[in-house]
Amino acid sequence: MRGEDTELAVIRLSLDVHEPAARHRVEDLYSAMWSVKRALQRDARDAIDAYWAGDVRRQTNAKAWRLELGLSREGMERRAYRHMEKSKHLAHHVTKALVMHQADEVYATSVRRHLFADSSGHRHGRPKVGRWWDYTRIPGRARSHTTAGKWETFRLHGTLAGHLDVYRHRDLGREITTPEQVAALPAGTRVLEQPNHLPAPLRPAERIETGEKTKKGKPKTRAATWWDHTGPLAVVFAGGANSSRGDLVLPVRLPSGAGRWPYLLHFLNDPGTWHKIDLVRRRDTATPGGWAHEAHLMVLTGCYASPATKARRKAAGALARVAGVDGNVSNLSIVSFPNTFDPADGDIAATRVEPSDEELAALAKARRKERGRKRALDRSRRASNPAQYGPSKRQQARAERRQAAGLTARADHAPRGARVANKAGVPKQAYRRDTLSAGYLLNRARLAEAAATAAAAKDHRARRIAADVVADHGANLTVEDCDIRTWYRLWGKALQATTPGRLITALGRECAKTGGRMLRASTFTTKLSQSCFCGEKVPKTLSDRIHHCLACGLVGDRDTVSSALGAHVHLDDPDDPSTARVDYVLARHTQILFGEGLQEALSSQPQRGARPTRGRTHAAVLGRKNPGRGPLLDKTPPPGTGPTPNETRPATKRHKAHVGTTGCTDNAPPGAPAPHRHRVGITALRDDS
């Protein structure tokens, strides 16, 4: 068993499943495991309904009532065993170890999260039965690190050196014989020459000496097993108890360039650290069967960091700076000061993160392609199920004209009207029972694949930006604890351009890896966007993008001023955002010491927002009295469109009591001039919080 403090990391290994027999067997494995998970989810849903219906039993002894209903880890495992025993065909595909760990996953992700609240006091909703297309991971069982050769589900056999020996590139020098030598080669050097279709390694067939001798003095031998395989890497699964098809062997494909070999060396060079394997699939229309398969190997070691990353994080951890972060829909602003707030120890640093013109153009192109694919899906479904849709008004009018003219009725192969439904508006035939064409399935797979690719690209962009921000401003950041769900209610898909949630999450991870921490400050107690360095309140609506204080004369960009004030926030309890307070004495001291440098840094940032071509969705705002049409994101809101909502307004259902306020800050103090607003063509979004 591994210790509680043991570090864990995961490496993804690409599997070659080109052989039809192996591919069909993997598909059967997924189908069998999905039937087990679906049955367990239904059982969990019914048991939880019975648990909440038994008021008297629950109030008398809730724990005993849960155990009686089987709402425990052991109870879910016993349910899984019963399903496997009753369904005889499952034993041909799966093992009891796989079924047990599938039950553990259902209990952890559905039952326990519903019955017991997490650290924030939240519980998940009633368990539901998932979809086949969302079932992408078969959990494996961890190997034993005390008993040799005990790995009950998916196993990884072979060595990194053996893989290099079999698939070494023809141009690789003969003096390069070990993975350590390959890792020292410059990036771009070709190391492996793997065929398009990797052959599955064969199980060792020779005899292995045991180290003992017979009475006659001859060395004892035993039959070789997969544990004696030292050739190319491969994932092996023995199959179900009643399976007669032998071992399922899936060869592993490694990166061919030398630039990735330090990463491979970190994870794969020591087989003793290999801990657990999950079989994962993802949509890929270019591969046979429409799925690409991977093995996610959990290794008992820390995450890999390149020498350049280690040097960058070491330098960032040595920066004696504090910074504030202001995230909003259009950009991310960061302002940092030396932790002594003394100009002699460093200058002010300000950064604004926003999408470039190329990124906005790529996003607009992706949206057009996504919209076209969705329309093609709708046309295909209507053409394959014409009886489930009625004609549109135009089609009905055309039919009436032809009938009046005495012409024969024209059949509409793709009706464009509403779905045939009953009086309650419920479709008479469920969508899942529709007939789907092969083109529909292909387009749906392409849509899912494009969405996964876009999400991965956004994650990579967020990690890259977070690394640059921490390298420039240090690892001690403070950000407002905003509810991003409110932003999605107001602006919807506009957040896809900047992905503020991803950026802030990536910043938190990078700060932790660098040795610092990102603190969250409540907007209820700080009100950074409504305050000034001198301590005066400067009320602003979301359309007011310029901060102008009448008391001290400070004029600057609204986002930059808020982020600069965030560097002066102190928390009595770092884990409780509601204990955040702005140290206005220190802020005023900073304003006096830095003088013109502060004024220049706060007013030099460009006033530009993220402007995808599409506007917000018509379901973006919930509960507003005058939702209006909403501004296009590539234009400035026209004058006279009414007041914009307060940026500190909470969501309809707040997840924390201290997030947001209910007061309005639209009323300026007597005698104050009209607030500064955007110039035409400068920005696109009015949100800021």
Which residues 6+ apart lie within 8 Å of 359 measured at CB? 497
Is the Cβ–Cβ distance between 611 and 634 less than 8 Å? Answer: yes
Average pLDDT of the residues of the chain: 85
DSSP, collapsed to helix, strand or coil, labels residue 520 as strand
* pLDDT of residue 676 exceeding 50: no
Q: What is the tens place of the pLDDT at every residue in 342-387?
A: 999 999 999 999 998 899 999 999 999 999 999 999 999 999 999 9
Q: Mean of the pLDDT values across residues 7-22?
A: 93
Q: Mean of the pLDDT values across residues 500-509?
A: 92
For residue 208, give the H/E element and its range: strand 207-213
Q: What is the tens place of the pLDDT at every residue in 85-113?
A: 998 889 999 999 999 999 999 999 999 99
Is the Cβ–Cβ distance between 260 and 228 less than 8 Å? Answer: no
Helix axes 438-473, 357-384, angle to 10 degrees: 160
| pLDDT tier for residue 647 given thresholds of 50, 70 and 90 | very low
Beta bridge partners of 325: 334, 479
Provide the pLDDT for residue 625.
Answer: 40
The CA R_g of the chain, rounded to the nearest whole Å, is 31
C-alpha–C-alpha distance, residues 237 and 155, integer Å: 7
* pLDDT of residue 649 exceeding 90: no
C-alpha–C-alpha distance, residues 267 and 256, integer Å: 16
For residue 253, give the H/E element and its range: strand 248-253
3-state helix, strand, coil in the chain (%, to 5): 40, 15, 45
The secondary structure of residue 168, as a DSSP letter, is B
Is the Cβ–Cβ distance between 657 and 524 less than 8 Å? Answer: no
Provide the pLDDT for residue 2.
Answer: 58
For residue 9, give the H/E element and its range: strand 9-15
Q: What is the tens place of the pLDDT at every residue in 468-486?
A: 999 999 999 999 998 888 8
Q: What sign has the CA pseudo-torsion 200, 203, 205, 210? A: positive
Q: What is the tens place of the pLDDT at every residue in 298-339?
A: 999 989 999 999 999 999 999 999 999 998 888 899 999 999
Q: What is the pTM of this model?
A: 0.79
C-alpha–C-alpha distance, residues 248 and 200, integer Å: 9
Provide the pLDDT for residue 155.
Answer: 93
Residue spans of alpha helices (H) in 345-473? 357-384, 393-404, 438-473
Provide the pLDDT for residue 495.
Answer: 85
